[in-house]
Amino acid sequence: CLCLVFASTLHGGAKAAVTDPATGPFISDSKITDNTLELKCIAQNLSDPTANITWLQGGPDGTELNYAITSVGDAAAGTLKLTATTSLNVSGTGAVAKGTNYTCKVERGAGTLWQAVVTGDPTTRLLQLAPAREKLYYGDTVVLACPNYGTNSDPDTLPADPLPVPSPLVEWQFNYTDAWTGYLPSGATVQDGILTIENLADIHDGEYTCQATNVYYTNYAFKVVQVEMAPSTVAPTTTPNEGNLSNTGAIVGGVIGGLIGAILLGVLAYFGYQHYTKSQKGTTKYSAAASDAV
């Protein structure tokens, strides 16, 4: 399915589309049969009751095609919505030529808007939608898309050229070589053409191929997935700075000095005590008693 929204863009010096992000026109396509494709164009949030929508072949000034139109909402409230559908054969009897342009044009008082598609080969681009970072880590969930991107060289913007229709069928395979088997490793699933790989591990390392096929051609795009360890979050080991070393030295020096001082005091006290004891003994030996004769 196509979902196209452009502003006024230039391609090759000429306008490629004139659209409004709130109004459109928005084009989508769907298969009716194997040969027949339906194109739907929507213009919404219109406030002009005279607004009109048409399908043309060959650009905004091309030949008007047969189409069906429906309208809902109220222009006075700015909710008028116009839908125009047309169909074409893309293969079999009456098939249109490859490269045929189909343009949806919306005419209103505020100006004319238009958008186009073209019958042709799918033009695939492989994009990593998540995670936003480039590197993939163990345990991540990666989401890959393979959109139809026209010929625009910038895969991060919508193309200036009309996108090719029919929209391709998108399939995926892991480590594709010669035979297409659709093999994917455990944890990888596909929904609406989007590949999701959960809880990345070593088994997911390899190349993923998207295969885009429509009635005209099959194109391929590739993405290499390489899982690695996430950066460490352990805090770095810190080393003491000079100030800390100086403080530590001062503390150690003070402790050692205190111990030496205590030892010296102890020695002095011991010798002092010994001297005192001897002096006391000498005094007792040579002093006269009170009763001795003089």
What does the pLDDT look like over 201-225, one tens digit per residue?
A: 999 999 999 999 999 999 999 999 9
pLDDT for the residue 152: 56
pLDDT for the residue 188: 98
Nearest-5° Cα angle at 81, 77 to 86: 165
User: What's the pTM?
Assistant: 0.71
Contact 125, 155 (CB under 8 A): yes
**141: pLDDT strictly greater than 80:** yes
% the chain with pLDDT above 90: 64
**Torsion 72-76-79-83 (CA) sign:** positive
pLDDT for the residue 268: 46
Cα 215 to the center of its chain, rounded Å:
32
- Pairing of the two strands 113-119 and 63-64: unpaired
pLDDT for the residue 189: 98
pLDDT for the residue 291: 33
Length of the chain counted residue by residue: 294
Highest mean pLDDT among 76-85, 124-133, 245-254: 76-85
Contact 56, 64 (CB under 8 A): yes
pLDDT for the residue 257: 58
**7: pLDDT strictly greater than 90:** no
User: pLDDT class for 232, splitting at 50, 70, 90?
Assistant: confident
Does residue 17 or residue 255 have the better pLDDT? Answer: 17
Tokens of 127: 């994009």
**37: pLDDT strictly greater than 60:** yes
